[in-house]
């Protein structure tokens, strides 16, 4: 069965991985790139863990954690943009995906 949230979070994790690599190699930025990598990848990890949840409460808890990581990632992306590590074009492209994930997670949590 196709799961748009699972697919979107995996694709986003790939983008975040590439972003972190770019920041480290091209911009020589290590601290913020590591933080955005952790939070961005954790979104997908918690969504994957939710699928293995013991019960509905565990599933909801994992989605809640994924949502928190999405908000952390959003913050880190804004910080990277405002501190000059991302161009406006780079920022707008990836923040759109992050906000789309946030909307999907919030919608899923409301349904639970």
- pLDDT score at 86: 97
- Total domains in the chain come to 1
Encode the chain (112 residues) as per-residue pLDDT tens digits: 789 999 999 999 999 999 999 999 999 999 999 999 999 999 999 999 998 888 999 999 999 999 999 999 999 999 999 999 999 999 999 999 999 999 999 999 999 8
CATH number of the domain within which 47 lies: 1.20.1440.60
Please give the Cα distance from 112 to 98 (Å, whole number). Answer: 21
Do residues 81 and 96 touch, judged by C-beta distance below 8 A? no
* Nearest alpha-carbon partner for 36 in 7, 27, 109: 27
Instruction: Please list the alpha-helical segments (H only) found in 1-112.
Output: 4-26, 31-51, 56-82, 88-111
Do residues 98 and 12 touch, judged by C-beta distance below 8 A? yes
Contacts 24+ apart (CB under 8 A), 78-85: 79/32, 80/23, 80/29, 80/32, 80/36, 83/32, 85/23, 85/27, 85/29, 85/32
- What is the extent of the structural domain holding 52? 4-111
């Amino acid at each position: 069965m196709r799961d748009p949230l699972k697919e979107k979070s995996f694709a986003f994790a790939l983008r975040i991985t590439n972003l972190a690599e770019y920041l480290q190699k091209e911009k020589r930025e290590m601290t913020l790139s590591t933080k955005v990598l952790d939070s961005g990848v954790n979104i997908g990890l918690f969504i994957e863990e939710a699928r293995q949840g013991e019960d509905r409460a565990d599933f909801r808890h994992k989605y809640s954690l994924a949502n928190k990581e999405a908000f952390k990632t959003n913050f880190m992306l804004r910080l990277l943009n405002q501190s000059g590590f991302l161009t406006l074009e780079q920022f707008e492209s990836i923040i759109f995906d992050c906000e789309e994930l946030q909307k999907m997670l919030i919608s899923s949590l409301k349904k639970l």
